[in-house]
Structure 1
């Protein structure tokens, strides 16, 4: 495994201030946060796959809006059928139970059998109804796994991937990718510690895809989406991790023929 399972650090952090400007739309029974760039184009798109706080988190919505401000059509689906975990949840949370659907009224789990079809639905809708020509994906914590699982150069999946502080990634998820992949990693991260980061680097070298791994000092797991913006170290790391993602997508989505 190239990153460990979810932990309490996956839903702890700071709530950010701001007003989201996208729309919540129904995509064939899946709610999605959608935001167009200023020119209304959909040629270059990013599928944003969230941490377990989900698509209604203001933190993730503000990130989506920032990507749109940089010229990308953004789709951020609900990966959890309304069963996301509240930021800084009070009281005990049994994460394996949550993952298996134990808190969901319908018992819906939060593994690949549930999440993969959501990602596939979004990608199909983006390409057919919205005429997206090239699609990147940005995954934060939980969402990073599904960037990798769909990073395939087959004209139907994700063309370019970026992940910040990934969780629950299996070796096969990473070894099977066929497109460019970028990672923003935290110096202190029990979910993606140094030994897993080095293993990831070795795998990326062996498969030969374009890759980038940036390590941000002085921050912990979740910094790229839930960092405390009043802390200058965390603010700097968060802003630079976002810039890393934008530059990666600009190079591999917009500048590649």
Structure 2
């Protein structure tokens, strides 16, 4: 498994985070809580890219999901060792040992920390989890769906997947409706993999539900750290978020379903 340069490339977005950091079963977690009515028994797991939830872009996305009536938690499964935002500057990227970083933070290691958060939230009364993942986090979305820990899945430009193997495993083992937000230039989930996904899940073959959005002119990472000064990338980032919220609403995570 490996990541690509686009995984640590992008633009820092502007805004002031509104969520709170809390410790959930010993795991520092950024939490976005809706201000209005929302379903207290349902939580969206926000599974970040390599920069982790301490990156302002991720926090702003968590806030946006909460603003749309969805309680969202983003565990810091890198334990404050996410890729540093300074890597967004090209010279810094050239000296960062990405393979060594990934060896410290394998999907199995990070998964165990999210499991701790899930266990504690269940103790607090949460009965259903959905998951949205970006880049690295997309791998975790698939891992949770394989075991049906989550009931709704969204993966934006997922990394570390083996295609078609992981797609076929998802089809055969998961009951979670799957939304893929994809783009034109993506070494991690290229158009060949996107085509394979459509062939496996599309045309109603995957009974729980499947949809793939495609954002032309966008590059891997666009949904979380794309250059918002580029009209196509801005449209892609906003389109992927809109599609994600609509997918969550469609499958029972909207505020209108509040208990």
Residue 169, structure 1, aligned to residue 161, structure 2: yes
Contact 1:43–1:133 (Cα < 8 Å) also in 2:
yes
User: Contact between 2:25 and 2:117, CA under 8 Å: does it hold in 1?
Assistant: no
RMSD (Å), alpha carbons: 2.1
The 10-residue stretch of structure 1 (8-17 or 24-33) with the greater mean CA deviation from structure 2: 24-33
Please report the TM-score for the alignment, with normalisation by the length of structure 1: 0.87
C-alpha displacement of 1:153: 7.4
**Could you tell me which residue of structure 2 aligns to residue 23 of structure 1?**
20
Change (3 A) 1:162 1:6: same
Is 1:125 the counterpart of 2:120 in the alignment? yes
- TM (norm. structure 2) is 0.87
User: Match for residue 250 of structure 1?
Assistant: 249
| Structure 1 residue matching 2:145: 3-state secondary structure | coil
> 1:82 and 2:89 equivalent?
no
Residue pair 1:16, 1:58 contacting (<8 A) in 2 also: yes
The answer to which structure has the higher helix fraction is 2
Give how far 1:244 is off: 0.2
- How much has 1:83 moved relative to structure 2? 1.5
Instruction: Summarize deviations over 1:9-35 as a string: whole Å, max 9, x none.
Output: 001101001000111111222110012
Aligned match for 1:92, one of 67, 91, 95 = 95
| Alpha-carbon distance between aligned partners in 2 of 1:248 and 1:217, rounded to the nearest angstrom | 20
Structure 1, unaligned runs of 5 or more: 102-109
Aligned to 2:140: 146
**Alpha-carbon shift at residue 99 of structure 1 (Å):** 1.1
Paired with 1:119 and 1:28, the residues of 2 have a C-alpha distance of: 10
| Local SS of the residue matching 1:10 | helix
3-state secondary structure, aligned to 1:150: helix
Structure 1 contact 139–163 (Cα < 8 Å) conserved: yes
Say which is worse superposed, 135-144 or 171-180, in terms of deviation. 171-180
> May I ask how many residue pairs the two structures share in their alignment?
243
Relative to structure 1, the CA distance from residue 97 to residue 27 in structure 2 (aligned partners, 3 Å threshold; closer, same or farther) is same
- On the 8 A contact 1:12/1:88 being kept in 2, the answer is no
SS of residue matched to 1:253:
coil
Query: 1:11 aligned to 8, 11, 14, which one?
Result: 8
Higher mean alpha-carbon deviation, 158-167 vs 80-89, is at 80-89
Question: Which residue does 1:134 correspond to in 2?
Answer: 128
Tell me the residue number matched to 1:212. Answer: 211
2:49 is aligned with 1:51: yes
DSSP 3-state at the match of 1:32: strand
SS in 2 for 1:151: helix
